[in-house]
Structure 1
Amino acid sequence: MSSLVLVAAGSVFFPGLFLWLKRSLRLMLGWSEGEAAVMSTRLVSSLQAVMASSAGCVIVSSCSDVMDDRHWLTEVYILFASPYFAYDIYAMFVCHRHKLQVKGHEEETAAAAVGGARSTGAAVMSYLRSEFLMVLHHVFMVAFCFPTSLLWRQGKGDYFQGVLFLAELSTPSVCFSKVLIQYKKQQTLLHKVNGVIMLFTFFSCRVLLFPFLYYTYSRYASIPLSSVPLVAPWQCNLGAALLWPLQLYWFSLICRGAVRMFSRRLNSSSETRLKDQRD
């Protein structure tokens, strides 16, 4: 299968699935355009994560030599999934516009609802201010990571590419958390269990990702871990330097959210005990 066919297939599959899910949710459940768009975005992101993680598991388990072993699925999935990040930039914008309308931001909501070039520009600027880091991450993935993975590797390091796919393991729990928050289910046991899973998978698959890659190469090359950045290709170092701080920042936000939820629960329990003692 040619490269163009795989890219074209991904370009049709992800936006097509989004549109089909959105239409199905509106017709079957009677949801609004915005609600259906938000849920469809979460579902497509989760499906892509499952596909990427599955590909990563297959590739990693098939490569005993981390540098020289090959697996056909590596380049196939890179080509197929590359349009997803471009599609997701648009899907996130649709979700952001819906959130503006629901929250009732006066100027931004009015700008997004009026229509025309001026209102669209205002909505886009609001979106970029709110989701700048995520948009930057997606643009970097499309503009740098995918071309780099296809061109400079020259058939080397399929194992490392498979490990990178495994970073998506955390995405379904992140999406599910956002869905539960959207429907005001933050106090449920399901949200707490999902939060634990989200913390564990995000830390394991994203925060530890780049240290693990450098550690694995240090063992393969029999060199100290501190020497790996000196011998690794500049593309690897640049990717790690730009992507790892983003993962650390997002993980800190997840931890802050968990601390806030735990603190609210403690305060609520304390207030209940004080009230019982007074009564």
Structure 2
Amino acid sequence: MLTALVCGAVAFPGLFFSFRKALRHKFTHWSEADVLCVSERLVSAIHASLATAAGVTVVASCNDVMTDSHWLVNWFVSFGAPYMTFDIFAMYLSHYHTQRVRGHPSSSRGHSLQMVKAFLTKDWMLVLHHLALLLIFMPITLFFRRGLGDFFIGCLFTTEFSTPFVSIGKILIQLGLDDTRLHRINGIIVLWSFFTCRILLFPFMYWMYGRQFGIPLHRVAFHLPLHCNVGNLAILAPQIHWFILLLRKAKRLYLRQSRGKAGGDGRKTD
């Protein structure tokens, strides 16, 4: 466990600063905010890909959803913990330099409590999500589960499947490719993967539990301890919120592109 923790503490900051250096060299016209944003997204995509691979491996290896275990569960939770900590720092750096580029008054004073407060106000849900994983999910997984439920932990790892596509979308926008077919296809994949792996995943876990113990899906929640249902609801709620935001963003993009095409057709007619 300590080895995994140290590996994560070296790997994720190392990747971030390596990407930062490479992007500065490659895209000399980019601002520091651009470089930091893309670097953070690339590291996020790598962490999410590893989490998904670990999750699929664990889920595929567990026949009994309660008692079967896999060494990857505790190892990856320990390995990923430094990422959660560092990603909060990387998001803050990106926010700080973005405010400097925009000429925000608070950025003229450098790093300050006001800047930190503005960052927490803007990204409070993501920060809360990371802290909850560190302070609640990690201790429960490592110390209080009594070796039970590796299958469900593996399922939760796979919720990261949509993250690389979200990151790709941000990077395509940064590269000026937001009005391309590639960006539209990626957007469809984001919506599909997010809905499948972050929302439908929860009924799937309940169904798998019910199938093993001969309980109909609509009765499973009544056979589980209250804290299990509350925990699942606490994880599911922000996923629904983020999915609604993604739908709104997709709608705005679709309407903007439709207006652009209509304007183009009008000019051709004239």
Q: 247, 259, 262: which is aligned to 1:267?
A: 259
| Residue 75 (structure 1) aligns with | 74
| Residue 128 (structure 1) aligns with | 120
Cα drift, residue 12 of structure 1: 2.3
Q: 187, 191, 201: which is aligned to 1:199?
A: 191
1:189 maps to amino acid: R
Structure 2 length as normaliser, TM-score? 0.92
Separation (CA, whole Å) in 2 of partners of 1:186 and 1:173: 14
| Residue 112 (structure 1) aligns with | 107
Separation (CA, whole Å) in 2 of partners of 1:239 and 1:96: 30
Question: How well do the aligned residues superpose, as a CA RMSD in angstroms?
Answer: 1.9
1:10 maps to amino acid: G
| Residue 49 (structure 1) aligns with | 48
Gapped runs of 5+ residues in structure 2?
none
Counterpart contact for 2:34–2:174, Cα < 8 Å: no
| Residue 20 (structure 1) aligns with | 18
Separation (CA, whole Å) in 2 of partners of 1:216 and 1:99: 45
Instruction: Give deviations 1:227-259, integer Å, cap 9, x for gaps.
Output: 333332444323222121111111111111111
1:22 maps to amino acid: R
Structure 1 length as normaliser, TM-score? 0.89
Output aligned runs, 1:1-279, within 5 Å.
3-30=1-28, 31-104=30-103, 109-115=104-110, 119-277=111-269, 279=270
Instruction: Give deviations 1:173-196, integer Å, cap 9, x for gaps.
Output: 001111222333221111101101
Residue aligned with 1:223, SS? coil
Residue aligned with 1:65, SS? coil
Give me the identity figure in percent: 39
Cα drift, residue 40 of structure 1: 1.2
Moved more, 246-255 or 64-73: 64-73
Separation (CA, whole Å) in 1 of partners of 2:262 and 2:83: 47
Cα drift, residue 273 of structure 1: 3.8
Separation (CA, whole Å) in 2 of partners of 1:32 and 1:181: 15
Counterpart contact for 1:145–1:239, Cα < 8 Å: no
1:149 maps to amino acid: T
Moved more, 226-235 or 120-129: 226-235
